[in-house]
Structure 1
Amino acid sequence: MSFFPPSALRVFIPFAFGFFLSYLFRVVNAVIAPDLVADLHIDPSQLGLLTATYFIAFASSQLPLGIFLDRFGPRKVEAFLLTFAGAGAIIFARSHTLTGVIIGRAFIGFGVSACLMAAFKSYVLFFPEKIWPRINGFQMAAGGLGALSAATPVEWILRLTDWRGLFLLLALFSFATALAVLFIVPEKKSKATPDRFSQQIKGIKQVFKSLDFWKIAPLTAMSQAGFLSLQGLWAGPWLRDIAGMQRPQIASVLSWTAISMICGFISLGFIAEKLAQRGVSILVTAVTGMCISMVIQFLIVFKLFLPIPLLWMILGFFGTSGILSYASLTYSFPKALSGRVTTSINLLVFITAFILQWAIGIIINQWETTAAGHYHPSGYKASFLAVLGLQAAGFAWYLFALFKKKHQK
């Protein structure tokens, strides 16, 4: 593509591999959940806590990450953190207790916490402003490929080894990606002189005091966290227990969902860019996509109108809409704050994802598990509707904030 000359590919490809790895780690438990439950003897709430630990470890790094990205640059920060992901994968593979795998999962979440934000920061430095939504869309598509690899390809690998062997392979991939980011990506720092630490903290406060930020943050956090919680874990058990699918079928549906997600990331980036040229803001496009995502989730809960695989594919496409909010928010702040802007919204998304993914397991655990290890349909319905209700509340807040801002003028 015209905006991807060889020099630009040196920037894009290593960061794309990093986010590929991040997403693979994020959603792989949806496929290996039965193995984890059987080997570690854990219940739904413990499975939710284990998988959601990724999100809280990820979230814990976001605010300091924004400062480090703006001060030290994305290349060094991401390469350093990816070594923790490799160490975490080894701990995860070698552990035989719930505590051990939780520690490993936490290391993984912390280690991949820069994979998206470092890329976004790098693209702000290397690419012209007008193509940020597009290049961000391609970056997100790389994550979609990671989600795709966590489905059917993981199922193939599990025929050759167990989940422990899988995570040892992922550890090697983590270390290799760290080296690629460090030695392939060129160094380029912002032209602005880095602020003192106290000024950088003030930058974070500036973001969190902004009405532009809080207008969209709740809806984005609930929408993205809801999608991450379902796709990253609970879609697999739901397809098993509600749709009656076996693991090869589940892997296939998750694969097509990931393919749809890739298409969504790329297509919505182009659509947002074209609509912006016609006067439709990126934020409006993002909100419209998130509303469509809510409708699809409602149809999934009640299995209405369309075949189940198709519903999950449509959700995969529109579940990506919230990422457009990141680019929209970047336009609302000075470029020097770009790292702190994106990590601030990411902080909210991943704290919410931790809570929702764990909470779904807690709600499901209120109903008895069958002798075959299947969870009760009422548990899925109650938990999925709770997630949907929170997204609706986020949308209501967005409308209220628009109304309030309009009447302040």
Structure 2
Amino acid sequence: MSRQAAIRIFALFALGYFLSYVYRGLNIGFAPFLSREMNLTASDLGLLTSFYFIGFALAQLPAGLALDRYGARRTDAALLMVAAAGTVLYGISYSMQGLIIARIMIGVGVSVCLGAGFLAIAQNFPSSRWPLLNGLMVALGGLGGVVVGTPLAVLLTQYTWREISVGMAVFTVAVAAVIWLLVPETKPRQGSHESMSKQIHGLRIILKNTVFWRVVPFPCAVGGAFYAAQSLWVKPYLIDVSGLAARQADSLVSMLGLTMVAGTVITGLVARRIERYGLGLRAFCGLGMALFVILQLLILLRVPVSPALIWGAYGFFAACCILAYALLAEVFPRKVVGRVTTAFNMIFFISIFSMQVGVGFVLDFWPATDGHYPAVAHLTGWGIMIAIQLLSAILYFWPGALNVDEQLFE
């Protein structure tokens, strides 16, 4: 494959993931309008926002089968059309039920954007480049986290949230079209010739594998905490706990997206190079995630550090959980990479859903004043997320090699 074709494939799948990232965080800007129109509490808003993650998670296992059977191009483009229909429904709904159905459809529709991109990387690039390219994929998609900060706030001064939703549908259809038309078909892989029953059997083996469950909980807890915050709860935390104005909070939300982008690129670039000094991918990934947990503790303790510095570091080290995708792709046979990635995604997004809903549930134990909650409410919710991360870290760092027998999938 030519270098130009490889770059085109990478860029188009990165564009799809960018789109999914924008969808993930739209409600951080829509929240005040939704709360006023629908009279939503914090737990209501958290639940509504999190239905994206439920749709995403529920689609992961069938999506993994589709990726391994039909390929990244066809699966991604087809499902993006579901997302387009969902966001149209979101923009025209006037009931909570309609918004929930729409949010689920959006989650299902973008459920393979990241997995399709990672699969395309695994199919078209040597394994030595996977950590860097996976990081770049997430980084470019992570620019969607920048968009839902200040840029979205500016757009909402010119357009309603309903108009923006319909505009997103048009953009989604365009992205689906370019992926379908401009991404070349890859050669059928070994997994694509397997019967559906054999593919499902392979998926069961993945979900029962002890190596899978040793790796997955810690990055899922870290990612769950970060994305639950970034897509909804970080702005209220900055306003209610740190005492920042809404404009300052919007700027920090955008900065989080930028530092996450920087983190995914830099950690992906450094991961392989640092192996020559004896620090493997598993250890490097774990060290970065441990630093992320420490940073959350410092934030909760309200250490006297510049908000831009500590929140910038928060976004940067959160990116280390993405390295777990490359780690799993190394450990498991290449023919099941699609199913491994989407199984991981399923757990990952269930974690985001649980933490996002959980924080809203905790906040509602305290009375709100004009939509704002006392600092202790936020600190309690975030403290619970940190405790979950610490418990999962024990399993990740438990001594022992990560070996998967390829014969299991024959």
Write the letter of the residue equivalent to 1:172. V
Q: Do the aligned partners of 1:75 and 1:187 also contact (CA within 8 Å) in 2? A: yes
Give the equivalent residue in structure 2 for 1:8. 6
TM-fit CA distance, 1:225: 0.7
Q: How many angstroms apart in 1 are the aligned matches of 2:150 and 2:378?
A: 24
> How is 1:177-188 mapped onto 2 (pairs within 5 angstroms)?
177-188=175-186
Give the equivalent residue in structure 2 for 1:197. 196
> Is 1:35 aligned with 2:33?
yes
Q: Do the aligned partners of 2:211 and 2:402 also contact (CA within 8 Å) in 1? A: no
Write the letter of the residue equivalent to 1:234. W
Give the equivalent residue in structure 1 for 2:20. 22
The alignment of Structure 1 onto Structure 2 pairs a total of residues equal to 402
Give the equivalent residue in structure 2 for 1:362. 361
TM-fit CA distance, 1:403: 5.7
Give the equivalent residue in structure 2 for 1:220. 219
Q: Which runs of 5+ in 2 are unaligned?
A: 404-410
Moved more, 387-396 or 298-307: 298-307
Q: Do the aligned partners of 1:73 and 1:189 also contact (CA within 8 Å) in 2? A: no
Q: Do the aligned partners of 2:67 and 2:338 also contact (CA within 8 Å) in 1? A: yes
> How is 1:239-278 mapped onto 2 (pairs within 5 angstroms)?
239-278=238-277
Give SS of 2:216's match.
helix
TM-fit CA distance, 1:398: 2.1
TM-fit CA distance, 1:255: 0.9
Give the equivalent residue in structure 2 for 1:332. 331
Q: How many angstroms apart in 1 are the aligned matches of 2:401 and 2:364?
A: 41
Q: Do the aligned partners of 2:286 and 2:397 also contact (CA within 8 Å) in 1? A: no
Write the letter of the residue equivalent to 2:358. A
Q: Which runs of 5+ in 1 are unaligned?
A: none
TM-fit CA distance, 1:129: 1.3
Q: How many angstroms apart in 2 are the aligned matches of 1:4 and 1:49?
A: 46
Give the equivalent residue in structure 1 for 2:132. 134
Q: Do the aligned partners of 2:131 and 2:272 also contact (CA within 8 Å) in 1? A: yes
Q: How many angstroms apart in 2 are the aligned matches of 1:20 and 1:360?
A: 26
Give the equivalent residue in structure 2 for 1:233. 232
Give the equivalent residue in structure 2 for 1:341. 340
Q: Relative to 1, partners in 2 of residues 1:405 and 1:327: Cα closer, same or farther, differing over 3 Å?
A: closer
Moved more, 191-200 or 66-75: 191-200
TM-fit CA distance, 1:404: 9.6
Q: Relative to 1, partners in 2 of residues 1:133 and 1:403: Cα closer, same or farther, differing over 3 Å?
A: closer
Deviations 1:99-125 (A, max 9, x none): 221111111111100100001111111
Q: How many angstroms apart in 2 are the aligned matches of 1:76 and 1:295?
A: 42
Deviations 1:236-290 (A, max 9, x none): 1111212223332221111111110000010000011212344322111111111
Deviations 1:20-54 (A, max 9, x none): 01011111222222222112110000001011111
TM-score (norm 1): 0.95
The alignment-based identity, stated in percent, is: 34
The partner residue of 1:95 within 73, 78, 93 is 93
TM-score (norm 2): 0.95
Q: How many angstroms apart in 2 are the aligned matches of 1:325 and 1:335?
A: 15
Deviations 1:117-162 (A, max 9, x none): 0011111111111101111111001121111111111111111111
Q: Do the aligned partners of 1:70 and 1:194 also contact (CA within 8 Å) in 2? A: no
